[in-house]
Structure 1
Amino acid sequence: MKIHMIAIGGSAMHNLALALREAGHMITGSDDEIFEPSLSRLRNAGLLPNAIGWYPDKITSDLDLVILGMHARADNPELLRARELGLKVLSYPEFLYEHSKDKTRVVIAGSHGKTTVTSMVMHVCRAVGLEIDYLVGALVKGFDTMVRLSDSAEFMLIEGDEYPASALQLVPKFHFYKPNITAITGIAWDHANVFPTEEVYVDQFRKYIELCEHGASVVYFAEDVKLKTVVEGAQNFVKKVPYYTPSYEVRSGVYHLLTDDGPLPLMVIGRHNMANLEAARWICQLMGIQERDFYEAITSFEGAAKRLQLLGKNQNTQVYLDFAHAPSKVKATLAAVKESFPGKKIVAVLELHTYSSLSKEFLPNYQHALEGADVPVVYFNPKAVEHKRLPALNKEEVADAFSIPVENIFTDASEVLKKLLAERASNTVFLIMTSGNFGGVDLKNWADQLLA
């Protein structure tokens, strides 16, 4: 097919473009801004637009399909031209459903852990030789892209997030997937710019379960009270499969899963990742993978990019990077590090980057989120607040929300690094948590300096 992609530079969209090109389709695209790594990856594939911006003359009547990315607005000139010509326009979740409607759709949903569980399932499928199509929110070791599409795979594995599909469809992406098998990892209010109250947010998960295929298997984390209530209250015919955190122990910083065949050493850390692993085990079992094969494969799983990713270490110090940004994610990540390194000094720095985290109304949800750190640090960029058209924040408001000293709040990334360097000592773990990059700094370089 001849396909044009509006907003081709997005994380999911550029990976979808690469997958469609690999499948033999003719791909063009446009965007008003493209950053790394999308920029280089599109350029290397010959898919980088010749000029940045929107060009309605790219929209011609011979196009078979236009795929609309999330950050393109409803008045986008290319979209308007496509509708004027009567062309078929789909958001990328709509397209994924169209691609997979004759496959077994396996969707990983929930407020946290989606990427990790999806990555675990991908890793195990690859190890046992099970061919799958997939969409995942981060690069996974052993996989070249975040999207794979084929005609031959029986399963389509999708990381299903709750953010809106497109400017034309302000409903969550995961509402389009209609899974045959799904895991839901938990419900913790996020995306306050889209879901103004917790109840509105929780309702998206109720609707998601209603949209599952008749007889679908719904694997859910039964230790989450909100999620348990939502799933067990569902009236449609689905098979409800509760799961719990499995038994494990930590030996010298290494997590061991306690199985019937004895302790199983793992390469991931944290109680939350033990729960993620159990979700992945159930999903793999429902896909036909034997438990013993799952356990054998999961021992070599190193984690998805930016999910408690070890940036570097020496004899006395470790530096971790995590995507944590919502309060529940911050707490779980910090708890994982504390459990893994008892007795070590924990220096935790969190960048407030999302709309929710920079909103004065949402900030109180971070109360005590960093209380497990010996040295809690928070950074925010006033320009990011302005860009999101939110009321200006001051350091005192942020310090009050987190209940930490105002001198540990920073708006200059270089000052954050100075603070971290000043905290270097033997037996220290640095935990950097962000869904951004501190205004464009090289975080690997930060790690190298901390370890020098």
Structure 2
Amino acid sequence: MERQEFKHIHLIAIGGSIMHNLALALHDKGLKVTGSDDEIFEPAKSRLAAASLLPEQEGWYPEKLDARPDAVILGMHARIDNPELKKAQELGIPVYSFPEFIYEQSKDKQRIVIGGSHGKTSITSIIMHVLRHQGRLFDYAVGAQLEGFDRMVKLTDDAPIIIIEGDEYLSDPIKRVPKFHLYHHHIGVISGISWDHINVFSDPEVYREQFRIFAEMTPKAGTLIYDKDDEQVQLVCVPRNTDVNYIGYGVHEHTIRNGKTILHTKKEGDVEIQLFGEHNLRNINAAKEVCKKLGIKVHDFYEALRSFKGAAKRLEKLGESSSTVIYRDFAHAPSKVKATTEAVKAQYPQRRLVAAIELHTFSSLNRNFLPQYEGALDKADEAIVYFSPKTIEHKRMEMLTEEELKAAFKNPRLQVFTDSEKLSDYLKGQNWQNANLLLMSSGTYNNINLEALTKAVLNA
């Protein structure tokens, strides 16, 4: 199948995290790029401005479509009645969602799609790190800013493969199908299934069904790589198609010595790495299986892995002293919170662990979803939950109580904060001798100054 050639692309909702990166990638490729949005925040604002792509005014301007771009890309932030979308439809201009466009631009490439409720970004970033270490040409589309890569999207004419982080969330306001159904993978990964996005997938079965569809989209001679120990994954990755290569993986053999993780390998001996936690030891094996399929030798994989520091905001080290380490992690879904908390405690079993999670997403603030967090913070010596009442009001949801949260987490010792300054002061006032701090959120704790907090904790 020939891929479509474009000269001028217009992006509706250009300010989004992945959308502005796509705009920059297309600009890098030499295309004319225009766009609109009703709100654009940093860092998108500065990055678009530096490339002369920042819209002159915020808002929607249907007259921009009079220039008749070759295609329009519709971001998830836009609504179905968006005036620019309506104008594009009236003029008969092709409208793509982000995943449809990535597929359109990679029809002549081998497509590797990393799916799963958790671990997607880490697996994708390990693969990208290894490929770059080996000097391989590849395109990519990933959901986080990765160290060493100045964009979240890269599209070229000459790369033979593309590595895609395959989100199960909806693609766009029109079609409303999961993004990872639209990439048409040759090699697919399912790293784990744990119910999320309650606002879209009303129950765990509907959510799991999206992964079954993804698994069964694996083509003849394609490969499906999956976590063989995950019970939900086992239900969808049934090896029933003899034309598909099914590869299950588990936890990489390892030991922990003095806060360092050592991998045990048959041919390479012991390999010390910078990652840790059982979930990451699974992620490493998933990435290794993908890299094998891409022709990377095992020796080269481990050699590259030694220098991999991890994806941004995934067990990212904010600071360290002789008796304390402070980590932040993007974890917000129950399975991620549990895995991350357990990982830090297992890595430093002799140290007290203070774990604080911000409830920030629609699912995490939903009273019906909260019981999914049962036991998620049990490995922490001190468990803290923070949420902003303003966020609940903004999302038009019912206010939560401390008693509800303690009951949902099944943790009577749980401390609940709704004021970020009080939380910051509380943490600064603790005794941090032989203790670690883990901050988990997809938000900002209402703009807590993490740099100041880190300094205060390390100097306590």
TM-score bracket, shorter-length normalisation: over 0.9
Do 1:206 and 1:234's aligned partners in 2 also have CA atoms closer than 8 Å?
no
1:173-212 superposed matches below 5 A: 173-212=179-218
Unaligned runs of 5+ in 1: none
Please tell me whether the aligned partners of residues 113 and 185 of structure 2 are also in contact (alpha carbons under 8 angstroms): yes
| 1:344 and 2:364 matched | no
Q: TM-score, normalised by structure 1?
A: 0.98
Matched residue, 1:301: 308
Q: Which residue of 1 aligns with 2:31?
A: 25
CA-based RMSD of the aligned residues comes to: 1.3
1:393 paired to 2:400: yes
**Cα distance, 1:419 vs structure 2:** 1.8
2:432, 2:457 within 8 Å by CA — same for their partners in 1? no
CA distance in 1, matches of 2:63, 2:426: 51
Match of 2:85 in 1: 79
The 2-side partners of 1:169 and 1:326 are apart by: 25
* 1:52 corresponds to: 58
1:365 corresponds in structure 2 to 372
Give the counterpart letter for 2:237 in structure 1.
V
Cα 1:234–1:89 shift into 2, 3 Å = farther
More off after superposition, 189-198 vs 44-53? 44-53
SS at match of 2:53: coil
Matches of 1:235 and 1:82 in 2, distance apart? 41
Per the TM alignment, residue 56 of structure 1 is displaced from its structure 2 partner at its CA by 1.2
User: How far apart, CA to CA, are the structure 2 residues paired with 1:425 and 1:89?
Assistant: 54
Residue 95 of structure 1 aligns with an amino acid whose one-letter code is: F
Aligned partners of 2:186, 2:222: CA distance in 1, in Å? 5
Aligned to 1:228: 234
Cα deviation for residue 400 of structure 1 reads 2.0
Q: Secondary structure at the match of 1:70?
A: coil
CA contact (8 A) 1:61 1:85 kept: no
Aligned to 1:329: 336
Q: Which amino acid aligns with 1:192?
A: I
The code of the aligned residue for 1:114 comes to K
Within 5 Å, which residues of 2 pair with 1:48-447? 48-232=54-238, 234-235=240-241, 237-260=243-266, 261-405=268-412, 408-447=415-454
8 Å contact 1:59–1:78 — kept in the other structure?
yes
One-letter amino acid of the counterpart of residue 160, structure 2:
E
Partners of 1:340 and 1:367 lie apart in 2 by 22
> Does the CA contact (< 8 Å) of 1:210 and 1:236 recur in 2?
no
Alignment partners' CA distance in 2, 1:191 and 1:390: 15
Residue 117 of structure 1 deviates from its aligned partner by: 0.3
Q: What do the CA deviations read for 1:136-193 (whole angstroms, capped 9, x no partner)? A: 1112221111111100000010000000000001110000011101111011101100
Task: Quote how far apart the aligned CAs of 1:45 are.
Answer: 1.7
| TM-fit CA distance, 1:109 | 0.5
Please state how far the C-alpha of 1:399 moved relative to its aligned partner: 2.3
2:177 is paired with a residue whose SS is strand
Contact 2:277 2:344 in 1 (8 A): yes
One-letter amino acid matched to 1:111: S
Offset, 1:237: 3.6
Per-residue deviation, 1:61 = 4.6
- 1:347 and 1:34 map into 2 onto residues whose CA distance is 35
- Amino acid in structure 2 at the alignment position of 1:62: R
Count of aligned positions: 452
SS of 2:335's equivalent in the other structure is helix
Q: How big is the shift at 1:371?
A: 1.0
Q: CA deviation at 1:291?
A: 0.7
Conserved 8 A contact 2:185-2:218: yes
Q: Which residue identity does 2:59 align to in structure 1?
A: G
State the one-letter code of the partner of 1:36: E
- Name the SS of the counterpart of 1:170 in structure 2: coil
Residue type matched to 1:5 in 2?
Answer: L
The CA deviation at 1:392 is 2.0
Contact 2:188–2:215 (CA under 8 A) maintained in structure 1? no
CA distance in 2, matches of 1:434, 1:113: 15
Asked if the contact 1:324/1:435 (under 8 Å) is kept, the reply is yes
The answer to whether the Cα contact below 8 Å between 1:2 and 1:63 also exists between their aligned partners in 2 is yes
Equivalent residue letter for 1:280: A
Q: 2:185 is matched by which residue type in structure 1?
A: P
How far apart are the structure 1 equivalents of 2:200 and 2:451?
Answer: 33
1:171 is paired with a residue of what secondary structure? coil
Partners of 2:451 and 2:59 lie apart in 1 by: 32
Task: Single out whichever of 109-118 and 207-216 deviates more from structure 2.
Answer: 207-216
What is the one-letter code of the residue matched to 1:400?
A: A
Which one-letter code corresponds to 2:329 in the other structure? D
CA distance in 2, matches of 1:35, 1:102: 35
SS at match of 2:171: strand
Q: Distance in 2 between matches of 1:316 and 1:420?
A: 16
Identity of counterpart residues, as a percentage?
Answer: 49
User: Which SS does the other structure have where 1:28 is aligned?
Assistant: strand
CA contact (8 A) 2:428 2:453 kept: no
Distance 1:160 1:4, change over 3 A: same
1:56 counterpart letter in structure 2: P
Q: How high is the TM-score relative to the length of structure 2?
A: 0.96
Whether 1:5 aligns to 2:19 is no
Deviations, residues 355-382 of structure 1 (Å, cap 9, x unaligned): 1100000001111111111110000111
